[in-house]
Amino acid sequence: MSKRATPTDRAASEVIYDTAAAVPLTNDAAEAVASEAPVGQASVGKGDAVAAAGARTGTPLAEGAVGCHAGPEELREAAAAAGKSETLERYAADYPVGPHDKPQSMCPAFGSLRVGLRMRRTATVLSGSACCVYGLTFTSHFYGARRSVGYVPFDSETLVTGKLFEDIREAVFKLADPAVYDAVVVTNLCVPTASGVPLQMLPKEINGVRIIGIDVPGFGVPTHAEAKDVLAGAMLNYARREAEQGPVQAPKQRRTDRPTVALLGEMFPADPVGLGMLLEPLGLAAGPVVPTREWRELYAALDCAAVAAIHPFYTAVAREFDAAGRKVVGSAPVGRDGTAAWLEAIGAACNVEQTKIEAAKNAVLPAISAALAKLPITGRITLSGYEGSELLVGRLLVESGADLRYVGTACPRTRWSDPDREWLEAKGVQIQYRASLEQDLGAFQEYRPDLAIGTTPVVQKAKEVGTPGLYFTNLISARPLFGPAGAGSLAQVVNAAIAGKARFDRMRDFFEGVGAGDTAGIWQEQPKGRPDARKAFSGVAGTETNGKDRARDALAQESVVTGEGVV
């Protein structure tokens, strides 16, 4: 039997990205941690912690474990019964669903995990089923996290008895080293949320390290975009309360003495620089981007003159800015019309004189018009994604000359995307919030575009029928979009993709006859249809609009295998 690897062995063989990986993973140090806990923060004995938490808050603790196989309704009911109803009600108000219950998307917790992992001096800890944590850590490292993700495992017993909360608390105390971290973020995934693991009972601060506990269940937060809002909002709330108590840390480098506009939403790295140049003639400067990359930037963001909600789904963050007395302005400077309207709106929010606003517009609009005219886009396009910037990209495509017919976004309708929605609808573009895959595919069927920009399954579908496709997340949303730099930035990739139609036709012809859908691949015998099972397990997407029922039926028809029924 091989000797079990010691921490020293592991350290020699593993790539250590940060010191979180050096935290002991066994319970050996448990007693030491309990005895080191500051009085008043962690003086509750290990065995009493959860019970005491429940007694203080009146929060009923989980009486039985609910597995993630239980389904969203049962998980939601269990979470409400376990004291999470206030959180779920807030999420229901912040992240309204419908016309679909839940768009098809990745695990929402990836959004908040990514926000935490991108912040300096911040430790992230997940509490959830091992399979969920495996997927989330895999995805975060796929996207180059280069940081350790903490995990507090559980089993039925530790979940039901409340020991899981004690384990989380213990892990937090072990991690909370002020020399290494400004903040520790603990995230309850589906099962611990449904079981009522009371992260709100963690100490708010340990040795000067802020402790932030959030619930990000798939049955309460519809998309990974909105999960970013959950964590960014929780951090901004914490920072706002700190600022209310007294002086807080200044930004590392004071970049400007002008009033700033905080920028809401992750964007292309050069975009804040471009936005700053647009703001300069208004006497303003670009402030921090929220979600921020370090804690003290939260204070600088709150210190802004106004907030530009570049991405329109940050409802909790906007609430914090609102509480701090800051105006939140929707849309973004995309294309000529978008830039003109945005400069007007930002100028008005910051009480800038009209002459300065006109000067700012005159300084930039001719250059944008010229850039758009120089690189026009020709072709019919459908567009769908889950990043929140879909409507902005849609505006830029239309201003570039594209025949855009449909924009689907997994994000909900909010007042901050109204200017973009109204502008696009006035140009005859169909907008679908909370778009389902069926709706995105239905639009593709209906409009027969020259190019489908979309999520992986949409692009796959397009390529299968010989239509060029571009992944929204990797190829479109990660480009400069704003001002003169954004104008024309899409044209090259979009026109090149449309021009590749002949290549897609050749590929489609090459693969013709090798099977499709359930029958793709090499089989010992012809696959048998299971129409009853398909009917039993196929979800009903909900209210349909614009003839999408018919489009979905048409798609279903494509699944029919001649002589074998629907498989």
Interface residue list for ligand SF4 (CB under 6 A)? 68, 107, 109, 128-129, 132, 135, 189-190, 218
- DSSP symbols for 477-502: TTS--SHHHHTTTTHHHHHHHHHTHH
Q: How far is the CB of 194 from ligand SF4 (least distance, A)?
A: 9
Nearer to ligand SF4, 128 or 198 (CB): 128
Least separation in angstroms between residue 107's CB and ligand SF4 is 3
Alpha carbon dihedral 160, 149, 118, 29, in 10-degree steps, equals 90
Rounded least distance, CB 218 to ligand SF4, Å: 2
Long-range contacts of 39-47 (CB under 8 A, 24+ apart): 41/203, 41/205, 41/206, 42/169, 42/173, 42/203, 42/206, 46/166, 46/170, 47/166
Closest CB to ligand SF4 among residues 221, 263 = 221
Which C-beta is closer to ligand SF4: that of 41 or that of 158?
A: 158
Residue number with CB closer to ligand SF4 (68 or 317): 68
CB of 510 to ligand SF4, least distance (A): 36
C-alpha dist (Å) from residue 98 to 76, 86, 139, 269, 312: 17, 21, 27, 33, 17
Q: What is the CA radius of gyration of the chain?
A: 26
Pick the closest to residue 201 from 90, 59, 62, 88 (CA basis): 59
Find the residue with minimal CB distance to ligand SF4.
218
For the chain, give the number of residues.
Answer: 567
- Tell me the closest approach of the beta carbon of residue 143 to ligand SF4, in angstroms: 16
Place of tokens 């002589």: 563
Instruction: For ligand SF4, give the closer residue by CB, 129 or 382.
Output: 129
**Which residue number, 115 or 352, has a Cβ lying nearer to ligand SF4?**
115
DSSP result, 208-233: TEEEEEEE--TTT--SHHHHHHHHHH
Do the Cβ atoms of 326 and 304 come closer than 8 Å?
A: yes
Angle of CA points 12, 15, 20, to nearest 5°:
100
* Residue number, 189 or 470, with CB nearest to ligand SF4: 189
What's the min distance (Å) between Cβ of 131 and ligand SF4? 7
Q: How far is the CB of 106 from ligand SF4 (least distance, A)?
A: 8
